[in-house]
Amino acid sequence: MAIHSSNLGYPRIGEQREWKKALESFWNGQLEEANLMETMKTIQLSSIKKQMAKGIELIPIGDFSLYDHVLDTAFMFGYIPKRFGQESERRWDTYFAMARGTSSQPAMAMTKWFNTNYHYIVPELDGLQPRLMENFLLRDYQFIKDNLSIETKPVLLGPVTFLILAKLSTGVHWHKHLQLLVPVYIELLDELYRAGVRWVQVDEPILVQEIDEDIVAAVEYVYHSFYQKVPGVQLILQTYFESLSNYPEIVSLPVAGFGLDFVHDDGENLYNMKKYGFPKGKWLAAGMIDGRNVWKSTLVQKAALLEELSKYTEHLIIQPSSSLLYVPITVKHERRLAKGLVDSLAFADEKLDEVRLLAEYAQGKRSLSDLRHYDEQTGEALGLLRGQPIKKTIQPIEQTERPPYAKRRQAQQQHLKLPLLPTTTIGSFPQTREVRQARLKRKKQEWDEKQYQTFIRKQIAKWIEIQEKLELDVLVHGEFERTDMVEFFGEKLGGIACTTNGWVQSYGSRCVRPPIIFGDVVHLCPITVEESVYAQSLTEKPVKGMLTGPVTLYNWSFVRRDLPRSAVLNQLALAVRQEVLALEQAGIRIIQVDEPALREGLPLKRQKQPAYWQEAVYAFRLATSAVRLETQIHTHMCYSDFSEMIDIIDDLDPDVISIEAARSGGELLSLFEIHTYRKQIGLGVYDIHSPRIPSRDEILIQLERALRVLRPDQFWVNPDCGLKTRTEKEAIASLQAMVAAAKEMRNRLFVSLQGGDQDDSKR
C-alpha cells in the first residue's frame, strides 16, 4: 500500500495577521511595494516551513495569494476587465484595483465561496481572450525550491469551476470560453512539468453540486485534453465540501487521482465507492480531517474509515477535507479559553498533526493504541464543560406565528408614522481607528469598563446627531461596541467561547474570529438594551434595535457536532427571542434581526435544502415572533444569491427586509417582476464596499428602477449593508446623497399623485 500525507491549502494571513497588516499598510501608502513583497515572501516561506515540520509530504503552493486565489486565476489568465486598463509596469496596482475598485472604477463583484464565509472576486470574462500572462504557480514552485530545496504540489482552480463561477453577459455561454481556456491551462501545466513538477491538484468543487450532462461533457473534454497534452503531470482532481456528484463518470476520467471529502459527504463518497468501486491504480486523496470546523478528530474512528478505504485502493493520500483557509492557524496562542475546550480544539496546525498521525498509522509506523491515546486526551473535559443538553430546545414548542401582515402594517404605521420611502441604514457606522484603539485600551486594561462605556456613548451621541442632521427617518446606534456582529453576541451568550487570535480570512484583508459554540446556548443577561435605549433617549425618531439572527450566529460560528443542527439553531433562536423581548420591553419600536448568512448555510446538494430551509425559517420565526403587533421586525441580508429565495423571505415573515442590491441590482429586480412580494423591502441603493461617493442622481436611477417593480408604499431607501468599513467622511457624504435622492423621489411621487409639491415639514 502506497501512502502519502498531503494538505490542500494553508491559511495565508499569518499567525499574527502579518499578511493583513502588510496589505493595509501598502494600500494606505505606508509600505513600499518592495517591502510588501518581502513580507509576503516571508509569510509564504514560514507557512511552507511549518508544513514541512509537520511532516506533510505534498505541500500545496498556489494557495498563497495577495488577495484571493480566484482573482489570481483570472489575473494569471489575463482576464483583466478593460476598465482597469492594460496590464502595466505596476501590475499590482491593476490587481488591487480589480479587487478593491478605484476612485473612478467600481471593483469587481465579490461573492461567497460555496457554503463558506470566504468571499472571492467574481471573474469577468466579457470581451476578453485568455492568455498565460504569468505562471504564478511556476513562480511559487521555483521560489520554494530555491529557498527550501523541496518539491511542492501546485494547486490550481480547475477550468470548469472557474468558468461556472465567472460572470458572463446574458446569452453568452461559458462553453465558448472553455475552448479558449483549455489550451492556456495546458501551457501552464506544460511549463510546470518542464520545471520538474509531478503532482498538481486541480480543484473542481463545482462537481459536488448537482451537475448536468453539459458539465459532465465539459469535464470530460478538459481532462482528456490535459491527459493528451501533458500526460506526465499527475493530476489530482480535487473536490470538497460535499460528496462527488456523477461519481461513475467522474472517476473514469484519465487523471492520476481523485480527491474526495469524507467528512462533509454524509457517507455518500464511501457508499459510491462500495457501489461502483474505485478505478484500479488511481490515487484516492481522502479528505479525512475536517477543514471546516475546529474540533479535534476522533482518530480511532478515522482509522476504521482508513480500513474501509483500503479495501478499494492501494494508493492513498491522507489529507484534510478541504483547504485549511476556513480555520484559524493555531490553538497555541489561545490563553482565554477553558482548559477542557482548548484540549478539544484543532486549528490548521493541529489538524496537520492529525494528518501526519493518521498517515503514520496507515504506514505502520504507529499503532491503534497511539491513536487511542490521542483521543483520550480530548473529549472528556469538553463533556464536563458542556453538561447535559437542554431537552426543551431540541423540540421547541414555542409559538412562531405573528398576526397577519396587513394588521401589523396598520398598527405599526400608526405607531411609527414614517414617511413614504423611509430612509435608514443597516446598523454599523465607521469602525474608525479611534474605535478599535478604544477597544484595545480596554483589552490591555489601560481603560476600565466605565471609560470604555463613556467612549461608546460619545460615539453613539455623535452619530445620532449626524443622523438627525442627515434627516434619516429610522436611526441606529451604530454598533460601536461590537468587534463583529457575530463575535459580539458570542461573547455575551452562555455556551459560546471566543478566541483571542482565531482569525479567519473573510474577504481581502478583512478577517473574523468565528465564535465556538461548545455548549448549550443561553441568554444570560440583556446584551444590546443599554446602547439602544441610550440612543433612543437622544432622539424622537425611532431607533432600530440591532441583533444578529440565529441562523447567521450558527453559520458564522464553529458549531458543536454532538447535537443536530436544528437543536443548536433553536437554542440560538430562543436566546435571540429573549433579547428581542428585552428590547421591546425597554421601549424599542423597531428591531432588526440580521440574517446575512441565511443563504450561506444552504446545503450544496439540492435534496438536503428543504430540511435546511425549514429549520432556518423556524429558528428565525422563533426568534422574532413573540413581539407585539406594533413592534416592527426588520431583517437584512447581503452578498448572497437571492434567486429562489423570495418565498423563503416571505416565510420568515419580517415586516421589512433590506437586501444588498447595488452590485447586482438588475438581476435582483427581475426577481420581483416574476414574484409578487407584498411586505416592505429596501433594496440597497449604493455599494458600501467602495470608497466612491455615489451621486444623488445615480441613486435616483436606482430608485426609479426599483419602483418599476415595487410599490412606493412598500419601499425603503438604505445602503447595501453596514458602513463599518467606510471612513466617516465617506459614510456621511454617501448618506447625504441617499437622503437627497429619497426626498426628490418623494416629491416626484407626490407631484404625480397630488399635482403639487410635498411639504416635508408637515409630515
Ligand X SMILES: CN1c2c(nc(N)[nH]c2=O)NC[C@@H]1CNc1ccc(C(=O)N[C@@H](CCC(=O)N[C@@H](CCC(=O)N[C@@H](CCC(=O)O)C(=O)O)C(=O)O)C(=O)O)cc1
Ligand Y SMILES: N[C@@H](CCS)C(=O)O
Please, which residue, 350 or 484, has the CB nearer to ligand X?
484
**Least distance CB 486 / ligand Y (angstroms):** 10
Please report the DSSP string for 11-53 in residue order. -SS-TT-HHHHHHHHHHTTSS-HHHHHHHHHHHHHHHHHHHHH
Please list, residue by residue across 509-524, b when 16 or more beta carbons sit within 10 angstroms of its beta carbon and e when fewer do: bebbbbbbbbbbbebe
**Least distance CB 104 / Zn ion (angstroms):** 25
505: cell is 480570512
Per CB under 6 A, the list member of 162, 247, 283, 556 interacting with ligand X is: 556
CA distance 722 to 742: 19
The residue whose Cβ lies closest to ligand Y is 722
Per CB under 6 A, the list member of 178, 327, 460, 486 interacting with ligand X is: 486
Which residues between 457 and 486 bind Zn ion (CB under 5 A)?
none
Find which of ligand Y, Zn ion, ligand X, none residue 546 binds, CB within 5 to 8 Å per kind.
Answer: ligand Y
Please report where in the chains the cell 487521482 appears, as a residue. 257
Per CB under 6 A, the list member of 142, 725, 747, 758 interacting with ligand X is: 725
* Positions at the binding site for L-homocysteine: 426-428, 479, 594
CA 362 to chain centre: 35
Please, which residue, 96 or 113, has the CB nearer to Zn ion?
113
Where does this chain bind ligand Y (CB under 6 A)? 426-428, 485, 546, 594, 596, 636, 638, 721-722, 724
Which residues between 92 and 151 bind ligand X (CB under 6 A)?
117
Which residues between 628 and 657 bind Zn ion (CB under 5 A)?
638
Find which of Zn ion, ligand X, ligand Y, none residue 427 binds, CB within 5 to 8 Å per kind.
Answer: ligand Y
430: cell is 465607521
The residue whose Cβ lies closest to ligand X is 483
Find which of Zn ion, ligand Y, ligand X, none residue 439 binds, CB within 5 to 8 Å per kind.
Answer: ligand X
* Positions at the binding site for L-methionine: 426-428, 479, 594
Residue of 345, 329, 400, 338 lying closest to 626 (CA atoms): 400
* Positions at the binding site for 5-methyltetrahydropteroyltri-L-glutamate: 17-20, 112, 117, 510-511, 556, 600
The C-alpha angle with vertex 661 and arms to 692 and 558, in degrees rounded to 5, equals 100
Site string for ligand X, 406-445 (x = CB under 6 A): -------------------------x-x--xx-xx-----
Please, which residue, 177 or 636, has the CB nearer to ligand Y?
636
Per CB under 6 A, the list member of 456, 512, 602, 732 interacting with ligand X is: 512
**Least distance CB 571 / ligand X (angstroms):** 19
The one segment of 186-194, 243-251, 283-291, 505-513 that binds ligand X by CB under 6 A: 505-513
Please, which residue, 181 or 486, has the CB nearer to ligand X?
486
- Neighbouring residues of 385: CB distance < 8 A, sequence distance ≥ 6: 338, 340, 341, 518, 519
**Whether 596 contacts 637, CB under 8 Å:** yes
**Least distance CB 640 / Zn ion (angstroms):** 10
User: Hey, how many other C-beta atoms are within 10 angstroms of the C-beta on 419?
Assistant: 13
**Least distance CB 320 / ligand Y (angstroms):** 29
**Least distance CB 429 / ligand Y (angstroms):** 8
483 touches ligand X (CB under 6 A): yes
Phi/psi at 17 (nearest 5 deg)?
55, 40
Per CB under 6 A, the list member of 124, 484, 520, 655 interacting with ligand X is: 484
**Least distance CB 329 / ligand Y (angstroms):** 25
Please, which residue, 35 or 437, has the CB nearer to ligand X?
437
Q: With 0-12 CB in 10 A as exposed, 13-18 as middle and 19+ as buried, what is 9? A: buried
**Least distance CB 510 / ligand X (angstroms):** 4
CA distance 623 to 626: 8
389: cell is 443538553
Please, which residue, 270 or 638, has the CB nearer to ligand X?
638
Pairing of strands 504-507, 510-512: antiparallel
Which residues between 591 and 610 bind ligand X (CB under 6 A)?
596
The one segment of 106-114, 373-381, 430-438, 714-722 that binds Zn ion by CB under 5 A: 714-722
Please report the DSSP string for 213-277 in residue order. HHHHHHHHHHHHHHHHH-TTSEEEEE--SSPPSSHHHHTTSSSSEEEEESSSSTTHHHHHHHHH-
Find which of ligand Y, ligand X, Zn ion, none residue 436 binds, CB within 5 to 8 Å per kind.
Answer: ligand X
Please, which residue, 219 or 637, has the CB nearer to ligand Y?
637
Site string for Zn ion, 719-758 (x = CB under 5 A): --x-------------------------------------
Residue of 587, 514, 513 lying closest to 553 (CA atoms): 514
Please, which residue, 189 or 659, has the CB nearer to ligand Y?
659
Q: With 0-12 CB in 10 A as exposed, 13-18 as middle and 19+ as buried, what is 394? A: middle
* Positions at the binding site for Zn(2+): 636, 638, 651, 660, 721
**Least distance CB 473 / ligand Y (angstroms):** 17
- Neighbouring residues of 570: CB distance < 8 A, sequence distance ≥ 6: 393, 394, 396, 550, 618, 619, 622
Please, which residue, 653 or 660, has the CB nearer to ligand X?
660
Q: Total number of residues binding ligand X (CB under 6 A)?
A: 19
User: Hey, how many other C-beta atoms are within 10 angstroms of the C-beta on 198?
Assistant: 13
CA distance 633 to 262: 41
505 touches ligand X (CB under 6 A): no
Q: Which amino acid is at 605?
A: K
592: cell is 432588526
43: cell is 509569510
Please, which residue, 501 or 570, has the CB nearer to ligand X?
501
Please report the DSSP string for 352-370 in residue order. HHHHHHHHHHHTTSS-HHH
Find which of Zn ion, ligand X, ligand Y, none residue 433 binds, CB within 5 to 8 Å per kind.
Answer: ligand X
Which residues between 334 and 393 bind Zn ion (CB under 5 A)?
none
User: Hey, how many other C-beta atoms are within 10 angstroms of the C-beta on 12?
Assistant: 22
The one segment of 293-301, 472-480, 509-517, 567-575 that binds ligand X by CB under 6 A: 509-517
CA distance 763 to 759: 8
CA distance 103 to 349: 40
336 touches ligand X (CB under 6 A): no
If you ran DSSP here, which 8-state letter would residue 205 be given? Answer: G
Find which of ligand Y, Zn ion, ligand X, none residue 736 binds, CB within 5 to 8 Å per kind.
Answer: none
Per CB under 6 A, the list member of 256, 511, 535, 627 interacting with ligand X is: 511
Three-state SS across 96-144? Answer: HHHHHCCCCCCCCCEEECCCCCCEEECCECCCCCCCCCCCHHHHHHHHH
Catalytic pick from 69, 119, 477, 689? Answer: 689
- Neighbouring residues of 169: CB distance < 8 A, sequence distance ≥ 6: 126
69 is catalytic: no
How far CA 562 is from CA of 46, 125, 389, in Å, comes to: 35, 44, 10
**For binding to Zn ion (CB under 5 A), which residues are involved?**
596, 638, 721
**For binding to ligand X (CB under 6 A), which residues are involved?**
117, 431, 433, 436-437, 439-440, 483-486, 506-507, 510-512, 556, 596, 725
Show which residues are catalytic. Answer: 689
